[in-house]
Structure 1
Amino acid sequence: MANLGQPFNLSPTRLAIVRLLKEWGKGTVKQLSEALGISRIAVHQHLSWLKSMGLVESEVERQGRGRPSEVFTLTESAQEHFFPRRYDLLALTVLDEVASQFGEEFLLQLFRRYRERLAKQLGRRKGSLRERVKSLADFLAEEGYLARWEETRDGFILSLPNCPIAQIAKRFQQACTSEVEMLRKVLGAPVTRECHQVVGDSCCRYFIAKPGSRKTENRRPDFSGTRKSKGVLRR
């Protein structure tokens, strides 16, 4: 996240808080304290400063019978500053015109061709499935997706908390329809989408099945015993 703190001049700890809130969607002082290995008082001080700068907001949530918790999220301005999307008004205008002149089916084919070109650029990942997933996650992390991956009993979970084309995808959902197929080609393995930012989830998440996996299209994978892989986030 080099230079992302400008012009706010964020310390490494505050940058880490921003990144965690982006990945999680929301978080409490307790959760951040445990993840960062610092005291709750220190976390609260950092969050207070981030709130004063308009980068973080909070609300009280009641969970079960316990005391209500203050839950923190990034503001829209923080989302735009720290995790910029690769889109502009011209791109949206052009796509609108294409859809108007040639129809939705033509637009779908356009996005499919884009994904096919991207798949060729990526090439078929080499090595074991675990190595292929890691290689793809490394590439996507460098492209701004904040990619991270985890291994489960049945396969792998690839999470993409940041979408560089989020605004385009919200306007033209055809941009996402060919993404799963592209991942299947690149990884050479079955892939299903578990979460989708376009419909309100905090990230896009994909399940990559291991050979002989018990997972089916209509059943969520067993996430018990999930083991997070170290070093999956490229700095």
Structure 2
Amino acid sequence: MKTTADQILLLLKSKGPAGTSALAQACGITRQAARLQMERLAAEGLVEHAVERAGVGRPRRSWSLTQKGHARFPDTHAQMTVELIEAVREEFGAPGLDRLVARRERVMEHGYRAALDGAEGLEARLSRLAEIRAAEGYMAEWRRREDGAYLFVENHCPICAAASACQGFCRSELALFEMMLAPAKVERVEHLLAGARRCAYVVRG
């Protein structure tokens, strides 16, 4: 069973920075209880705050995860994966690593096409794709924007270390989304490796 602290960390990971009152409401606790939780998490180095001034009244604290807080959502087998990538690069060079990434892409494409079979329309395909990626640990979700386009978001990257060691994985996954959602256009607008807190894609049908 998740503790309140776990709930707060998950909210900050999946939804981004939030104020104490919003976190209290989401967790079903009082604002004072939430404030105590945030102070404990801050003391552990898991969260930090920025001061926001919005009109008249006292400034608000906006809480977000620290690097240590993000590390509570681990990168799957990170060290071993990086070591394997470096070994492939040393043994077979960049072309060999490119072939490895391409092979992974083909395997994923086959599995994703089977999973999306029968999903009619862009929204149905987005929903199915989000389910697949969420099951793989990406905390994926999507929504329709006011301009009619869609925002596909991945709040966590379980292969972040691998992607950092070989950016081909990120290029491959963007290509995979384009194939699964074609003829819609897919554009990456936020990138975790570029300093964003998540990866996000705008999808236009």
**Interval containing the TM-score (normalised by the shorter chain):** 0.7 to 0.9
Shift of 1:98: 1.8
Write the distance in 2 (CA, Å) between the matches of 1:61 and 1:79: 21
Aligned to 1:24: 15
Distance 1:147 1:55, change over 3 A: farther
Residue type matched to 2:31 in 1?
R
Write the distance in 2 (CA, Å) between the matches of 1:139 and 1:41: 38
Q: Confirm or deny that 1:191 pairs with 2:181.
A: no
Tell me if the contact between 1:196 and 1:203 (Cα under 8 Å) persists in the aligned partners: yes
Aligned to 1:127: 120
Write the distance in 2 (CA, Å) between the matches of 1:69 and 1:167: 34
Structure 2 counterparts to residues 82-231 of structure 1, below 5 A: 83-123=73-113, 125=116, 126-152=119-145, 153-188=147-182, 189-210=184-205
Tell me if the contact between 1:183 and 1:191 (Cα under 8 Å) persists in the aligned partners: yes
**Counterpart secondary structure, 2:71:** helix
Query: Can you list the C-alpha shifts for 1:207-233, whole angstroms capped at 9, x where unaligned?
Result: 1112xxxxxxxxxxxxxxxxxxxxxxx
Write the distance in 1 (CA, Å) between the matches of 2:181 and 2:61: 40
Aligned to 1:61: 51
**Counterpart secondary structure, 1:85:** coil
Residue type matched to 2:108 in 1?
L
Aligned residues: 199
Aligned to 1:41: 32
- Return 62-71 or 164-173, whichever deviates more: 62-71
- Identity over aligned residues, as a percent? 25
In structure 1, the gaps of 5 or more residues are 211-235
**Counterpart secondary structure, 2:18:** coil
Query: Can you list the C-alpha shifts for 1:107-137, whole angstroms capped at 9, x where unaligned?
Result: 2232122122111111162212111101111
- RMSD of aligned Cα (Å): 2.4
Query: Can you list the C-alpha shifts for 1:156-189, whole angstroms capped at 9, x where unaligned?
Result: 1111010000111112211111111101212223
Tell me if the contact between 2:155 and 2:197 (Cα under 8 Å) persists in the aligned partners: yes
Write the distance in 2 (CA, Å) between the matches of 1:73 and 1:178: 30
- Return 127-136 or 58-67, whichever deviates more: 58-67
Shift of 1:96: 1.0
Tell me if the contact between 1:47 and 1:56 (Cα under 8 Å) persists in the aligned partners: no
Query: Can you list the C-alpha shifts for 1:18-54, whole angstroms capped at 9, x where unaligned?
Result: 11110234222133245456542232133234335x2
Query: Can you list the C-alpha shifts for 1:87-119, whole angstroms capped at 9, x where unaligned?
Result: 333321221122233332332232122122111
Residue type matched to 1:73 in 2?
S
**Counterpart secondary structure, 1:84:** coil
Residue type matched to 1:123 in 2?
R
Write the distance in 2 (CA, Å) between the matches of 1:106 and 1:68: 54
Tell me if the contact between 2:78 and 2:159 (Cα under 8 Å) persists in the aligned partners: no
Tell me if the contact between 2:163 and 2:169 (Cα under 8 Å) persists in the aligned partners: yes
TM-score by length of 2: 0.83
**Counterpart secondary structure, 1:103:** helix
Tell me if the contact between 2:89 and 2:96 (Cα under 8 Å) persists in the aligned partners: yes
